[in-house]
Structures are given as C-alpha cells and as structure tokens.
Amino acid sequence: EEIMAHSSNVSSVVLGKGSGRMLATGGDDCRVNIWSVSKPNCIMSLTGHTTPIESLQVNPNEKLIVAGSRSGSIRVWDLEAAKVLRTLPGHKANICSLHFHPFGSFVASGSLDTNIKLWDVRRKGCIFTFKGHTEAVRCLRFSPDGKWVASAADDHTVKLWDLTAGKLMFEFTGHTGPVNVVEFHPNEYLLASGSSDRTVRFWDLEKFQVVSCIEEEATPVRCVLFSPDGCCLYSGFQDSLRVYGWEPERCFDVVLVNWGKVADLSISNNQLIGVSFAQSTVSSFVVDLSRVPKSDSIPHGLIRDDQPLVPPTPTGSSLRRIYDRPSTSCSKPQSRVKHNSESERHSPSSEDDRDEKESKAEIQNQEDYREIFQPKNAICRTPPRSEPFPAPPEDEPGTAKEAVKPSQAADVQTSLPKQELVRTPDPVQRPPIASSTSLTRTEPSVIPAARNEPIGLKASDFLPAVKNQSQTELVDEEAMSQIRKGHETMCVVLTSRHKNLDAVRAVWSTSDIKNSLDSAVAINDLSVVVDLLNIVNQKPSLWKLDLCTIVLPQIEKLLQSKYESYVQTGCTSLKLILQRFLPLITDILAAPPSVGVDISREERLHKCKLCYKQLKNISNVVKNKSGLSGRHGSAFRELLLLMAVLD
C-alpha cells in the first residue's frame, strides 16, 4: 500500500513495535504524521520542530513518540493527550537515531556530533553523555533487561555501554563499512549488527566475541529484526527479505519483496510488515511468515508462531545466558514518599508553556484517534516496581555526566564523573557505579583497604527523605523496597565482575597466562586486572617478558588509583618486574648490535625497548609519590631505589 505522507520529501519512517500497525513518518515539512498501516488517512499531525525530521521512535506501548530534527532538537509527544510532553535540547547536529527504554521513562539519542545522550523524559534532563564514537551514531538499542545500550556508527564499530556504571563495556570491531543497524536477541546474550559492508554479524555478549558473520548479499543491510521466539533473524535488503540462523551461519530463506530501500520492520499476527519511502510517498509491504521457514529442521511453509517450535540443532541457546527482566506488572507503588515528593512532581515552566504553544497535535481523523489512542478500557500506567537505574537529579546547567573513553581514565572504576558535583535532593537517586568498591561523596585521597564499614554510606541514605518529623515512621514494605534498590545494584556489580572473571579463567584454561591477561585488559575493568595480578604475584615463575609489556601500562593506572588495595597490588607487581627483568632489560639494551639477522633477538630487543619506555613513565609517578608518609611512602621509596638504574 502506498500513501502520500507529506507535502515535501519524507526523511524518516518508523513502525510501532507493540501492535506492528502504527506508522509514524517525518518529513522535510518539519511535521510528524501518525498513520494506521491498514488505512490511507492520516490520524494525527504533530508540529513544533522548525527543521526537517531526521529520526523517529515510538515507545513500546505506543503512547509516546519522540522525534529528532536536523538542528539537534528532540521533542516527545504524548499521543493519548495529543500534546507535546518534552523538548530536549543538547545535541549540536542532526539527530540520527533514537530509542525508548523498554520499561522506563528514558530515551537514548545518537547524533551526527558523535555523542550519545540518555534523557529522563519525566524531568526533561540529560542523565549521561556517552562519548567514544568518531562519526555519526546511526542506530541505538536498549537491551531487553534495560541495563545496556548498544550503538552502531559510521566509524565501522558497534559499542556496548553500561547504563548503571555510565561507561563503555566493549567495542566490537570487524565491520569494514558504516554500521546501519543493531538489534538485541529477545532472550539470549546475543547482538546482531548489519552494515553497508553487506554483512550481518552476530556478537556474543558474554565472551565479547563474534559468533558468526554472514556475507552473501550484494546490497547494504538496511534493517534487522529477531523473530519473537528468537530462533532466526529477519534482515531487510534492497528488494529482498532474508531469514538467517547464526550457529552455524546459514540462510533459511530469501523472499523477494519489491520494497526498494526498506526503512523498518515489525511483526504482528505472524505477519512481517516492512515500510520504505521515496520522495513524498511511503509504501508498506506485508510478508506472511507462516510460509517462510525459519529453521532447517522444519519443512517449508509449516511455520506457525502459535505452535511449539523445535529449535534447530545446534542453536547454542543452552550455552548462552538469558536476560533477567524486572517485573513490569501494574502494581501499587512501593514508596509513597518517593512518588508523592515535591521533587517528583513536574510544574510546567514558562519554557514548557512556550513549547506547548509552538507544538500542536492536529487530529485529522477523530474516529481513528479515539479508537487507537483513547481506548475505553483503562490502562494501568504504573511504572515498574524497580527502576532500571536511579532517576537523575533536578536539571542544573552543566550537570550532564559524560562517560569517558577507557584511554582517558586513569582509573576505570572512576570513569563515572564524581557525583559530589551534582546536588541531589534524595541520596537514593544517586546513580550507582559498577565497580568493586563503594562510591563516596567526600572522597579521601586514598581509600584504605582494611575498613570495617563502607566509605561514605549511612543507613539514612537508603531510606526515603521525609519533610515532617512526624512522618519518620515508615512502613516496613517501603523501607525494604528502598533497601532492595541498593541490593539489586550491588548484585549487578558483583554478577558483572564474576562474569568477567569467568571469561578470563576460561581463556586461561584453554590458552595461557598472556592471553588471559590480554582478555582481562580488554574487558576494561581494573578490578578484574587486580584480581588476576593478585594470583600471578603469588607465583613469580609465571612472569615472562611478554607479560611485562601488557602489565606495565595497567600498573601505571593502579599506582595512581585512589584505592589502597589497587596501589598495593601495583607496587607488588612492579617490584617483581624490577627484580626479575630490569637487569635483563638494561643488559640487552646496552649490548652491541649483532652481526647478521637474529629474529628472536630483534623481537626481544623490541620488547625490552617497550618495557624501558613504560618503566620511565612509571618512574615519574613513583617519584611524585615517594614523598608520602607511612606504608605507602616507604613502598614507593623502595621502588625508587630499584628504578635508579633507569636514570
């Protein structure tokens, strides 16, 4: 079916994933138009943007829509109330990608300015700014459990970000062209990405490695969508739909569809709906999935989503972790104090009033509007019992937090900017950090390793703030709800660390210590490096020159850490290296050049030069800290004596 969607060129099209029947289009006329896939008339037209619409996204229950413009402005509309809900300024260039959090009032946006921003729709605030991509961010997707966000960009990379810690988890490289689309598996720890290099790649999110790569199409991958049961991937190409499996990689079917450059896919009632646009028209196409095989083991044409499916062999699903989704059922709010507090209520500011006047929702078809957006049955809109991550502080200029790249952080555990810069009215709302140590409000210069209680934590921090002393008696259920929030965060931290250590141990058992250290460094979590070094330090015979080249840059970070235990581990490792390898390094560097070609000697010389350069850098840190008093100072002075030969 073809519709004339706008008076000028269409620039963006998106399908609602809840019903699969709602269609939103954005155009150069600065309007967002809402349609029903099966009907030719526009239901609603949303105005307010002053530059062409570049990106659109509908939330999971199809009650909100967000649109990003060429100027970098973002607007969120409430389709039930038929009015603008928020205007979110902050990006400096075109909005290229948007995505709603699966069960929270949060939106992620990616831009031509290479930044990714996370917004709280309730408070009109930017929670985090993620920096790391070097070109436009083309696609964003939240994980099904709401803990991660994946980004695909023109710089040929896919990045995975941890929302709780506010930092980069892993960067997947392998594509040789701009990555257009990325999609999480609905159940397993698996990610799919499609690129202009004409490949679809599958990534394991536990081992952080490629599972398979499919290279057989002659056109770029435009969109991908996992089947609801997760047994296959539907990929949209120029004029074709392909159905893929990934373990092993294979193509189950190719369906020729005359949709040109398909823009989005959705599944509804065992039908796949695809939409594409050209100039001012939008076309929709339907593929009957009951006639499309999605497994080698089932005959062509017998697939039905309402019947039990026998998974292909092998699928690998039994070996991969499954997402833990929090309860999202409609229930009574657990904390009356939090939900009724003054800080939670939004009072429209003059800026909001101005936005409302400038932004309009013109209802073109009242009957369709009432049928779709104002159903007779009341819908429970209560938020999930446990928020995916704590709400941000009230808006203040310059408080948007930025997640820095690993190379810019002296201590990976503290890559989240210091929280004391942001005034939070309620300590419970302070974003947690995914590391092995506690985050403090007033941080001492060094956090001691031996302590009987967490630094900077008080019991009152885990209880709701109250205005009246007479209200200080809390219901047990409310108090337990607040305490559980911190518990869940800590469980996430420890589970993540345990998973990382398991991955390192798996590499060590199948390979050697060098590869396991490489994998620990690649995980980009200093706590994992510390745990591994504490083991290796107990057995000096494991140390080789190869190991030194990997460990020395990490030791430099450890010596500058604020955590005493990290500094101690760094000092122990550096002392071992200096005692066992420094004489060898200086002898090899001082030896006259050999006659002829000796490849092994050249390799050893190269490693020694690398170690020498790294040790020189570390010696500056040791000199600066040798003046400290106490146990720290004596340890650094001992290291300084051992490093004297470097001068």
Assess whether pLDDT exceeds 50 at residue 381: no
Rounded to whole angstroms, the Cα distance separating 11 from 277 reads 8
> Mean pLDDT over all residues of the chain?
75
pLDDT value of position 392: 43
Grouping H, G, I as helix, E, B as strand and the rest as coil, residue 235 is strand
Residue 587 banded pLDDT, cuts 50, 70, 90? confident
How far, CA to CA in Å, does 324 sit from each of 270, 299, 318, 335, 387? 26, 33, 15, 23, 14
Q: How many CA atoms lie within 13 A of 28 on its CB side?
A: 9
**Residue 170's beta-bridge partner residues?**
160
Q: With cut-offs at 50, 70 and 90, classify the pLDDT of residue 365.
A: low
pLDDT in tens, 1-56: 788 888 888 989 999 887 778 899 998 888 899 988 878 888 888 888 888 899 99
pLDDT tens per residue, range 428-455: 343 443 333 333 344 455 666 655 555 5
pLDDT band at 86 (very low <50, low <70, confident <90, very high): confident
618 in Cβ contact with 642 (< 8 Å): no
Distance CA 494, CA 285 (A): 46
Distance CA 143, CA 186 (A): 8
**C-alpha dist (Å) from residue 184 to 140, 157, 580:** 10, 16, 47
Q: Which residues pair with 77 in a beta bridge?
A: 65, 84
For 133-142, 247-256, 309-318, 562-571, which range has the lowest pLDDT when averaged over its residues?
309-318
Is residue 326 within 8 A of residue 386, CB to CB? The reply is: yes
Indicate if the pLDDT at residue 139 is higher than 90. Answer: yes
Provide the CB-side half-sphere exposure for 354 (13 A, CA).
4
* Rounded Cα–Cα distance for residues 43 and 603 (Å): 70
Q: pLDDT tens digit string along 338-353?
A: 333 333 333 334 444 5
In order of 275, 428, 473, 483, the CA distances from 463 in angstroms are 49, 7, 11, 7
Q: Looking at this protein, which amino acid is placed at residue 483? A: I
641: burial class by Cβ within 10 Å (0-12, 13-18, 19+)?
exposed
How is residue 80 written in tokens?
Answer: 């039930």
Residue type, 626: S
Q: Bridge-partner residues for 361, per DSSP?
A: 46
User: What span, in angstroms and rounded, lies between the C-alpha atoms of 130 and 493?
Assistant: 20
The pLDDT, as a whole number, for residue 319 is 60
Q: Which of 65-69, 145-149, 401-405 has the lowest mean pLDDT?
A: 401-405
Residue 352 has φ and ψ, to the nearest 5°, of -65, -40
| Residue 482 C-beta-side C-alpha neighbours within 13 Å | 22
Query: Do the beta carbons of residue 393 and residue 425 sit within 8 Å?
Result: yes
